[in-house]
Amino acid sequence: MSKAFTRESDAADDEDDDPGGPSPLPQGTKNYMTPQGYARLRAEWLQLMDEERPKMVETVSWAAKNGDRSENGDYLYGKKRLREIDRRIRFLTRRLDQAEVADPSLHHGNDQIFFGATVTYATTRGEERTITIKGIDEADALAGEVSWISPIARALLKAREGDEVRLQTPGGVEVLEVVEVRYPAPPA
C-alpha cells in the first residue's frame, strides 16, 4: 500500500483539543469572552485558515513531488506542521462557536463585580492587588488577568466595593476587601 494512503499519526494527534491551549471548559458552563478576546481568537483563526494553512499545503505539495517521502525533511515537517495547524483550527472553531460575548463596558460606573471587571482588593496582610476578570481563553496571569472560573474570580463575583469576601486557599481561608471596581468606558 502506498504511504500516501496511510495515516501518519502520533498519539497526541488523536486528541481533539489543542494541547498547548487553555484548559477545557468545565461541564455546563458558558465560554464567556470580551469582545476584544473574541476578536483576537477570530483573527488567529482567520490567519491560520487564510495564510498559514494554504502556505503549508503548498510546501507539502511541492515536497511530495521531490521523490522519496520517507527521507524528505520538508515533507515530513510540513505534514507535522499541517496537523498542528488543523488541530488548532478545530480547537478555535469549537471555542468561537461556543463563545458567549459579554461586553464589560455595559457595567461602566457600577460598583458590583461582574465579568470583565477590573478589581482592586486588599489582603489581610495589607497588600493590594489588581486583577481583571476575563474569559478562559483570554486570561493572562502575567498581565493581571484571571479566568472568571478561577477561585479568586468566583470569590469576588457579585461583591461590591467595600465588601469582604472569603477565599479558600491551600493555606486556609483568606479574607479579601474589595477596594475598587472599574469597567472600561463604553465606545463613543
Burial state string for 134-153 with b = 16 or more CB within 10 A and e = fewer than 16: bbbbbbeeeeebbbbbbebb
Give the pLDDT of residue 64. 84
**C-alpha span between 116 and 135 (Å, rounded):** 8
**With 80 as the cut, is the pLDDT of residue 14 above it?**
no
Fold of the CATH domain 104-182: Chitinase A; domain 3 (3.10.50)
* CATH code 1.10.10.10 for 30-101: no
Give the pLDDT of residue 100. 94
Q: Taking residues 9-33, report their average pLDDT.
A: 60
Q: What is the pLDDT of residues 24-68, one digit of tens each?
A: 677 777 889 999 999 999 999 999 999 999 999 998 888 888 777
The residues spanned by each domain of the chain are 30-101, 104-182
Give the pLDDT of residue 24. 67
Q: What is the mean pLDDT of the chain?
A: 86
**With 80 as the cut, is the pLDDT of residue 188 above it?**
no
Is 170 or 25 the better-scoring residue by pLDDT?
Answer: 170
Q: What is the pLDDT of residues 74-96, one digit of tens each?
A: 888 889 999 999 999 999 999 99
The answer to whether the pTM exceeds 0.85 is no
Give the pLDDT of residue 15. 43
Task: Specify the range with the lowest mean pLDDT, choosing from 17-21, 48-52, 135-139.
Answer: 17-21
Using CA atoms, how far residue 167 sits from 109, 138, 175, 176, in Å, is: 25, 23, 6, 7
Is 27 or 163 the better-scoring residue by pLDDT?
Answer: 163
**With 90 as the cut, is the pLDDT of residue 187 above it?**
no
Give the pLDDT of residue 165. 96
Give the pLDDT of residue 140. 93
Band of pLDDT at residue 137, cut at 50, 70 and 90: very high
Give the pLDDT of residue 167. 95
